[in-house]
Amino acid sequence: MHEHLAVLIDRWKSDPHSTYNSWFLWDQRLKNFRSIRRGLAQVAREIEAGTFGNAYRGSTLETVVGSIAEQRQIFKGADHAFLWKPKLRIPDIYENPANQKAFAHLLTSCDCCDTAEGVVEAIRRIDAIQIKGLGPAAANLLYFIHPTWVVPFNTAIVKGYNALTGSHVKLGRWDHYLTMREGVLRLNGEHRTRLSNDLGAIAGLLFDVGSGRYAAPPREDDQASHAAWEIDLQRVREESASAHKQWLAQREGDTTHTEVQGWLRDLGKALGFDVWVAANDRNRSYGAGRLYDGCLDQLPPQINGAADAVRLIDVVWLDPASRRVKAAFEVEHSTTIYSGIVRMLDLALDGDMGSESTLFLVAPDERRQEVAQQLRRPAFSRVADLGIRYLPYGELKDHRQAIQRFGAGIKPLLEVSTVL
């Protein structure tokens, strides 16, 4: 089994459409970890303060879970477990104050844990309370707090684990989840050089097996079965290669995320600002060099508490004299608007935004209504109060050269953007 699983992992990693390449190596994946973790901490604080309310819709929990659900296919549908089912009155963390506080305690305890055993103990405590409708799907929240200790959990992952190991893990039970977690840790340890300390990698493998994209290696010592399995692996690989070529062809001519970051970088420098490019995008190729060429190597000490938030904002303009943030830009090319708004909220709450600082969401022209709809959500009221602006690609593309030549400060961008 060990040898054949190694073959499966290698084939899976070479597949451009596997979750390994489309999600685990996705440049936006890690970018959202800190904001999601902070969002969960905010949920816990609101519950403890008695201000969370008794509804999922419009809550900070919906905002955070929505950001998780946008993490591509492996977390698609992650919000279903937290949606209020009025006929069943589950999950019972909205109308029951005691259960709500126990849920907050789970989040706080895990956030403060410095050992895997502490996380497991927090899970056992919530399991003992037997809150209706609050099962192992909550592990998808805890994963973003401790990705090396908590394995994500959904139907496909469970199916994949059972198919690989011959186990009978059931959905909806924390004791079964903890048993699966132990087994996943063993598998990950056996194949660590091919996988990662981050349990998202092996969860992606289990997801693809459980979704039917890959068949699990036959467990019996049957040469014919193993030969058929090898043929099936090769078929999936060929289909993926063909699909990848079509995807690349469709992508040609698109305005890319990096290109828009480059426009904003050049525009900021031309207007006399110091420019910061997101830390995880700095070495992207752009033009004849790299995206961060001519930009700040380090954030100024004046940023202080906002430094971590600023590091992952797509592009930031800073005043050369005061060293304060003058404008921050989140480029939302194709992902949902959630992630950009959450990072903007992160920056706003960290407090280095002056009265003249402006936040911009930069997105394709056709996404205007989507941006407006999300900004009207109650959970985003703090960002909306700051006058966050929508800057469409078309306006930026059409006017950036004129602004570079004749503009001053951020006023020209105010003219081509709108408050929503």
Give the pLDDT band of residue 187 (cuts 50, 70, 90).
very high
Q: Higher pLDDT residue, 238 or 101? A: 101
How large a percentage of the chain has pLDDT more than 70? Answer: 83
156 shares its domain with 265: no
CB of 199 closer than 8 Å to CB of 147? yes
Q: What is the mean pLDDT of residues 197-201?
A: 96
308 shares its domain with 244: no
203 shares its domain with 288: no
CB of 338 closer than 8 Å to CB of 70? yes
At 363, which helix (H) or strand (E)? Answer: strand 353-363
For residue 230, the model assigns a pLDDT of: 61
Q: Which of residues 214, 236, 252 is at a domain's end?
A: 252
For residue 389, the model assigns a pLDDT of: 86
For residue 276, the model assigns a pLDDT of: 94
405 shares its domain with 363: yes
Domain with 298 in it: 257-419
> Is residue 375 predicted with pLDDT exceeding 80?
no
How large a percentage of the chain has pLDDT more than 90? Answer: 43
How far is Cα 259 from Cα 2, in angstroms, rounded to an integer? 44
Q: Domain tally for the chain?
A: 2
For residue 374, the model assigns a pLDDT of: 72
Q: What is the mean pLDDT of residues 16-31?
A: 85
241 shares its domain with 297: no
184 shares its domain with 322: no
For residue 381, the model assigns a pLDDT of: 64
Q: What is the mean pLDDT of residues 7-20?
A: 91
Query: What does 143-192 look like in DSSP terms, one character per residue?
Result: HTT-TTT-----HHHHHHHHHHH-----TT-HHHHHHHHHHHHHHHHHTT
pLDDT tens digits, one per residue of 311-355: 888 999 999 988 888 999 998 876 666 667 777 777 776 655 666
How far is Cα 420 from Cα 413, in angstroms, rounded to an integer? 15
267 shares its domain with 294: yes
CB of 282 closer than 8 Å to CB of 290? yes
Rounded to whole angstroms, the maximal C-alpha distance in the chain is 74
Q: Higher pLDDT residue, 420 or 194? A: 194
77 shares its domain with 197: yes
230 shares its domain with 262: no
225 shares its domain with 79: yes
Range picked from 246-250, 377-381, 393-397 for highest mean pLDDT:
393-397
Mean pLDDT, all residues of the chain = 84
Give the pLDDT band of residue 153 (cuts 50, 70, 90).
very high
Question: Which of 2-11, 120-129, 171-180, 212-221 has the lowest average pLDDT?
Answer: 212-221
Q: Which of residues 207, 233, 252 is at a domain's end?
A: 252
Residue given tokens 């050992």 in the structure block = 115
> Is residue 178 predicted with pLDDT exceeding 80?
yes
Nearest Cα residue to 346 out of 378, 393, 307? 307
For residue 378, the model assigns a pLDDT of: 67
> Is residue 371 predicted with pLDDT exceeding 50?
yes
For residue 235, the model assigns a pLDDT of: 62
For residue 274, the model assigns a pLDDT of: 94
pLDDT tens digits, one per residue of 214-272: 988 876 665 655 565 466 556 655 655 555 555 454 444 345 788 999 999 999 999 99
Q: Which of residues 252, 269, 288 is at a domain's end?
A: 252
For residue 174, the model assigns a pLDDT of: 92
213 shares its domain with 230: yes
334 shares its domain with 224: no
